[in-house]
Amino acid sequence: MNPPSSTAVSKGETGQPVDPSLPRAYPATEGPRPARDPGFVLVVNAGSSSVKFGLFDFQTLQPSARALLDWGGSSQRATLTITPCTTGEHDSNSSKPTRCELDAPDYRTAVARGLELLCGTASGLHGDRSVRVVGHRLIHGGEEIRQPVFIDATMKQTIRRFLHLAPLHIPAGLEAIEATEAALPGVPQVGLFDTAFFAHIPPCAYLYPVPYEWYTDWGIRRFGFHGTSHAYCTLRAHEMLGRGPKGVRLVICHLGQGSSATAVAEGVAVTNTMGFTPLEGFMMGTRSGTVDPGIILYVQREKGLTVEQVDEILHHRSGLLGISGLSSDFRRVEQAAQQGHERSRLALEVYAYRVRTMIGALAVTLGGLDALVFTGGIGENSSWLRSEACRGLECLGVYLDAEKNLMTRPDDDVAKADSPARVLLIHTREDLMIAREARRLVLESNTA
């Protein structure tokens, strides 16, 4: 474990721009475009109970097909749903999906079979084309992995070292990598790590005020998550603002089933609201987000809850579900609140209050705000949440246009025309970000 470097940022306290000699986790542009290449980039996003695949044209990065492999609670069978995409268009223009049942004696076999079927279907639809590179979404790269990387045997060993930090996701990611090796032998594989976008957050933001040895001996520090989404939104916000990263300060709120916000200065993440684990920060669908750690001691000592019970409650029975007592789904809770369900109204109030206070804290960390970005299912779709979250932020130059805000259309700007800070709705594209970076690494390695 390396002690925190005081040279990591020029003005850590204020979160102002990082040392320009440090490499960015992701470059400011899409990278080179190949002149003509008839292959695919395959994106694999492996979760513990489902795997999402995306197949992109290598040259244009337009999606060719998407697929979902879902165990649906079974240990022996999985369903593969393949949705071809109309060439030259994005998500909304997908054709009719096809579904098939697969034998799934183990995770790796099911993923390999799913890959073969997806690539076969896509080749049939788009001509016989091969996969040029596979990009994997991986959750945790610890302090070591700070860039997208090629995956080889040594890298797999390195990833294994972070298993204790993401015990559900890392085994799934490694299995998916090995399934890809079996299904597509010889095809280069690239890993993108959610934590990598936060490689440059300063010590004042990542150290917890606990004994310093917890950090040096046990590696306890804040990491940050949802990095691939925050990286995509950073690049897209720069595009929408029509300004390069120079001088641009962003607060990005990714509000989905899991939620986090990131402060970004000049294209580099300064801090994220999630911490050592994705439990810190915003209140979420079923996760509590930040709570007084004294509560956790109290309920164990005084109320007799076990570690396992507290773990289960904070991860699966808190957040929107915990307060509303009804649902973890924001839309459902919103509907119930409109129909007079008091605890749903309360849950939404707490949710919005926490988003607003966090935006304020992050904006002050940056010394001001050029754009506030909303993404994720809730951020993109709930005009109520956006208007509540922006209430009082006029002091930071955020003036939401109430009418525009009602017409939810990512990617759009819903700030008043004369608002000093813009308010951007962005449809996050983690899969595209992974495809872009995987292609960039392959092209750069070919020209090296």
Q: Is 257 in the site for ligand ADP (CB under 6 A)?
A: yes
- Contacts with ligand ADP: how many residues (CB under 6 A)? 13
Residue among 378, 393, 441, 442 that touches ligand ADP (CB under 6 A): 378
Which residue stretch of 133-141, 178-186, 250-258, 434-442 sits at the interface with ligand ADP (rule: CB under 6 A)? 250-258
Tally of CB atoms within 10 A around 203: 15
In the complex, which residue's CB is closest to ligand ADP?
377
Burial classification of residue 171, based on how many CB atoms lie within 10 Å of its CB (0-12 exposed, 13-18 middle, 19 or more buried)? middle
CA–CA separation, 26 vs 238, rounded Å?
13
Q: Is 365 in the site for ligand ADP (CB under 6 A)?
A: no
The continuous run of DSSP H or E covering 192 comes out as strand 189-193
Nearer to ligand ADP, 221 or 287 (CB): 287
Nearer to ligand ADP, 332 or 356 (CB): 332
| Tokens at 85, concatenated | 């995409």
User: Which residue shows structure tokens 């994005």?
Assistant: 90
The number of residues making up the chain comes to 448
Closest CB 184 distance from ligand ADP, rounded Å:
26
CA–CA separation, 155 vs 131, rounded Å?
21
Closest CB 258 distance from ligand ADP, rounded Å:
5
Which residue stretch of 51-59, 84-92, 207-215, 325-333 sits at the interface with ligand ADP (rule: CB under 6 A)? 325-333
Q: Is 376 in the site for ligand ADP (CB under 6 A)?
A: yes
Active site annotation includes 37: no
Residue among 11, 331, 391, 409 that touches ligand ADP (CB under 6 A): 331
CA–CA separation, 375 vs 332, rounded Å?
19
Closest CB 251 distance from ligand ADP, rounded Å:
18
Which residue stretch of 53-61, 117-125, 255-263, 269-277 sits at the interface with ligand ADP (rule: CB under 6 A)? 255-263
CA–CA separation, 327 vs 317, rounded Å?
10
| Tokens at 248, concatenated | 């641009």
Of 445, 442, 433, whose CA–CA distance to 45 is shortest? Answer: 433
What residues are paired with 262 via a beta bridge?
252, 272
Handedness of CA 256, 257, 260, 265 (dihedral sign): negative
How far CA 234 is from CA of 197, 230, 275, 407, in Å, comes to 11, 6, 20, 23
167-206 footprint of ligand ADP as x/- string (CB under 6 A): ----------------------------------------
Closest CB 329 distance from ligand ADP, rounded Å:
4
Decide if 386 contacts 438 (C-beta within 8 A): no
Closest CB 349 distance from ligand ADP, rounded Å:
15
Given 57, 194, 370, 431, the catalytic residue: 194
Nearer to ligand ADP, 12 or 376 (CB): 376
Nearer to ligand ADP, 234 or 324 (CB): 324
CA–CA separation, 438 vs 434, rounded Å?
6
Residue among 178, 329, 388, 411 that touches ligand ADP (CB under 6 A): 329
Instruction: Compute, in degrees rounded to 10, the torsion defined by CA atoms 126, 128, 132, 136.
Output: 60
Closest CB 162 distance from ligand ADP, rounded Å:
22
Q: Is 409 in the site for ligand ADP (CB under 6 A)?
A: no
Residue among 334, 370, 431, 437 that touches ligand ADP (CB under 6 A): 334
Nearer to ligand ADP, 183 or 283 (CB): 283
Closest CB 368 distance from ligand ADP, rounded Å:
28
Residue among 12, 84, 135, 258 that touches ligand ADP (CB under 6 A): 258
Decide if 198 contacts 227 (C-beta within 8 A): yes
SS3 103: strand
Closest CB 286 distance from ligand ADP, rounded Å:
10
Decide if 390 contacts 400 (C-beta within 8 A): yes
What residues are paired with 63 via a beta bridge?
56
Residue among 162, 215, 330, 351 that touches ligand ADP (CB under 6 A): 330
Q: What is the 3-state secondary structure (H, E, C) of 21-47?
A: CCCCCCCCCCCCCCCCCCCEEEEEEEC
Backbone φ, ψ for residue 262 (5° rounding)? -130, 140
Q: Is 50 in the site for ligand ADP (CB under 6 A)?
A: no
| Largest Cα–Cα separation, the chain | 67
Residues in 267-296 at the binding interface with ligand ADP, rule: CB under 6 A:
285
Q: Is 377 in the site for ligand ADP (CB under 6 A)?
A: yes
Q: Is 321 in the site for ligand ADP (CB under 6 A)?
A: no
Closest CB 334 distance from ligand ADP, rounded Å:
6
DSSP character for 165? G
Catalytic site positions? 194
Binding site for ligand ADP (CB under 6 A): 256-258, 285, 329-331, 334, 376-378, 381-382
